[in-house]
Structure 1
Amino acid sequence: MPMMASSSFLSFFLTLISFFFLSSSCCTFTISNYCPHTIWPGTLAGAGTPQLSTTGFQLDSGQSVKLATVPGWSGRIWARTGCTFDASGIGKCQTGDCGGRLECDGNGSAPPTSLFEITLGKGDDKDFYDVSIVDGYNLPIVAVPRGVYGTCNATGCASDINIGCPKELQVVGGDEQQGGVIGCKSACEAFGLDQYCCSGEFANPTTCQPSFYSSIFKRACPKAYSYAFDDGTSIFTCKAYEYDIVFCPNGNGIKKSESPLTAPSIQKSNNRDVEQVVSSSNNLLSLPLPILLFVFILIFSVYLAAL
């Protein structure tokens, strides 16, 4: 009997360990709105990977939403602003619009839009991720990975580029924004020249160099992609079990609200923590999985010793 009990416990233990390893291979995106106004996040899966459970939704100030994904998922996440939709989800947004629908359903974002881009690794393969303002900018965004194995780099663009956007790149809003700048175009979109679009004879890293305009973006947000070949300082790797994607990390006047989509409300006191994460390139956000494994091994050892 003791031997049978031991075998049963060992089988249960190995199943439990496998469960935790399998769980750790999946990843969750926690999307949070620190802006003092409503945003409408959108998601788009890359070729060969499934769309997330939602491809577009409303997120009021102070709300956060968790979206589960699968190993190997590739895609991008962004936020739309100034949206109006009817009961059937048809409408438009001032920035980041994705085909005039609440659910983007495979449509990408209309520039200018700040983008979070990622390809998740399968198994032990690392994730590759970045924040891109190559297609222009509409909102501050930071991405904070919670690493499985150790140190992971936060990245993003916490600065409000709209404030200092050159006049020739500005997107100006309507009455709701009091005529303010709601987006900053890329030079490629504004002028359509090969030298700004890294196309034609400029379609390689040797001939396509930082421009006056991309340098403005880079100075404001050193860790974000500012032009097509800005790989060296802008793409990061990690093995993470969760990515916190925060819009307007320095936002003030957050209003708490609840909806069926909402995870626990964002606490305003966390703003400084996010700012510190953005300013540092060595932030350790570790998964408690090793601790759990240690506890299970300890319990199993005690159990064997008692037989």
Structure 2
Amino acid sequence: MKILMRPCCFSLLFLIFFSAGEGVSATVFTLQNSCSYTVWPGTLSGNAGPVLGEGGFALLPGASVQFLAMPGWSGRFWARTGCTFDEFGNGKCVTGDCGGTLRCNGGGDPPVSLAEFTIAGGNSNTNSDKDFYDVSLVDGYNVGIGIKPTGGAAESCGR
């Protein structure tokens, strides 16, 4: 059995902006394609939040794009690979396909690596001032994903 390793990474950076005395005002997501080939990020919003990036788009090698999310936003990002789309946005992806369209209206087909987020204010019962994020392989693996939080404040493990 041969194990195929993909030497690229689809990176997600998120920067938390603060307003003095008002808490989190917005979060900026930066999606960066560190692969040597084009990926087609898919986005899916939860909590009836706004869809970032219209659900999907092409991201050339080395390119990056930014999106602004307000407090309470939750959702996921994933990299689709091997996609071909016509001028109307209809087509297919080898991994992470989302119904044969450029603009996803649902999750990606496994196997797909996921980056999932809930931004401060997303949980009205508890921890509403905290952000939650993870890389999930529950739907399989198609490309490496990295998350690098910047800005904001972290809690100390010693408290």
TM over 0.5: yes
Q: Which amino acid aligns with 1:130?
A: D
1:90-105 → structure 2 map (5 Å cutoff): 90-104=90-104
Residue 35 of structure 2 aligns to a residue whose secondary structure is coil
- The residue type equivalent to 1:41 in the other structure is P
Per the alignment, residue 138 of structure 1 pairs with 142
The farther-off stretch of 122-131 and 93-102 is: 122-131
Question: Which AA in structure 2 matches 1:99?
Answer: G
Q: Taking structure 2 as the reference length, what is the TM-score of the superposition?
A: 0.77
Which consecutive unaligned segments of at least 5 residues does structure 2 have? 1-17, 123-127
Aligned 1:67-146 pairs, distance under 5 A:
67-104=67-104, 106-122=105-121, 125-146=129-150
Q: Counterparts of 1:138 and 1:53 in 2: how far apart (Å)?
A: 21
Structure-2 separation of matches of 1:100 and 1:121: 33
- CA distance in 2 between partners of 1:47 and 1:75 (Å): 8
Larger Rg: 1
The C-alpha deviation readout for 1:104-160, integer Å capped at 9, x for no partner, is: 1x21100000000111112961011100001100000100111312479xxxxxxxx
Note the alpha carbon deviations across 1:185-239, whole angstroms, 9 max, x for none. xxxxxxxxxxxxxxxxxxxxxxxxxxxxxxxxxxxxxxxxxxxxxxxxxxxxxxx
Alpha-carbon contact 2:24-2:71 (below 8 Å) kept = no
| Paired AA for residue 116 in structure 2 | E
Aligned to 1:262: none
* TM-score under structure 1 length normalisation: 0.41
Query: How far, CA to CA, are the matches of 1:98 and 1:20 in structure 2?
Result: 40
Contact 2:24 2:120 in 1 (8 A): no
Residues 25 and 122 in structure 1, CA contact (< 8 A), matched pair in contact too? no
Secondary structure of 1:41 counterpart: strand
Instruction: Quote how far apart the aligned CAs of 1:51 are.
Output: 1.5
Name the structure with the higher strand share.
Answer: 2
1:46 aligns with 2:50: no
Among the aligned pairs, what percent are the same residue? 53
| Structure 2 CA distance for aligned equivalents of residues 36 and 30 of structure 1 | 18
Shift of 1:48: 2.8
Give the aligned length.
134
Which amino acid counterpart does residue 113 of structure 1 have in structure 2? V
Distance 1:82 1:61 in 2: 13
- Considering fraction of residues, name the structure with more helix: 1
Q: 1:61 maps to what in 2?
A: 61
* 1:237-270 Cα shifts (integer Å, max 9, x gaps): xxxxxxxxxxxxxxxxxxxxxxxxxxxxxxxxxx
Cα deviation 1:164-193 (Å, max 9, x = unaligned): xxxxxxxxxxxxxxxxxxxxxxxxxxxxxx
Runs of 5+ consecutive residues of structure 1 not aligned to the other structure: 1-17, 153-307
**Moved beyond 6 Å, runs of 4+:** none
Superposition deviation, residue 24 in structure 1: 4.2
Alpha-carbon contact 2:47-2:73 (below 8 Å) kept = no
Give the direction of change, closer, same or farther, for the CA distance of 1:51–1:22 in structure 2 (3 Å limit). Answer: farther
The 5-angstrom pairing of residues 264-279 of structure 1 reads none
